[in-house]
Each structure stands twice: as C-alpha cells, then as structure tokens.
Amino acid sequence: MEILKKPLLTEKVSLLTEKLNRYAFKVDPRANKIQIKGAIEAMYGVNVKAVNTMKYSGKLKSRNTKAGIVTGRPATFKKAIITLQDGETIDFYSTI
C-alpha cells in the first residue's frame, strides 16, 4: 500500500508551514496515523511530533448534456497534516 500520495502545496498550507512548521499530504484513505508517521519519517528523515487526519468526500455534481442530466461525484480522499519537531523542515524542491 502506497501510503503517501503527494504533498499539498497551496497558499493555506504554505502559511501553516511558515508559522507552525506543519506540512500537508494526500494519503491513502485506509492508512492510519501510525502508518503515516512511519512513512514520513522513513521518506524524509525527520521526526514527526503530531499527525492530524481528515477525510473529504466528493461533492455531488451534475451537469446538463444532450443525453439529459449527468450526476456523479469526484473521488474521496484523505488529508494528513504533519507537525514536525522544532528545527526540522522538509524540502520538496531538492530533487528538481
């Protein structure tokens, strides 16, 4: 199971990173906090202080087409907010 899908790099997360040393990742919906913590520590070599998770369900969307109204929803996902120990950082751009 691939636990970490991708890091989230938005303006809101950038503010969290600057002020509170927190980072956000999209993770596998079946992963728990212990697995997420282990994956972060193994991949980036940092010490994780706390892990907060939240699940997002896809909003119901509909649109009109020639065939009638088509409804559906985007995929659900799980987001994890990682708080690191003081003095530690993750550099996402080092491999570019």
For residue 95, is pLDDT > 70? no
Overall average pLDDT of the 13-21 stretch: 93
Query: Is residue 1 pLDDT above 90, yes or no?
Result: no
Q: What is the mean pLDDT of residues 75-80?
A: 94
Q: What is the mean pLDDT of residues 35-62?
A: 94
pLDDT, averaged across the chain: 92
pTM: 0.84
Question: pLDDT tens, 50-75?
Answer: 999 999 998 999 999 999 999 999 99
If you average pLDDT over residues 29-49, what whole number do you get?
94
Amino acid 92: pLDDT: 79
Residue 29 tokens read as 């919906």
Fold of 4-84: Alpha-Beta Plaits (3.30.70)
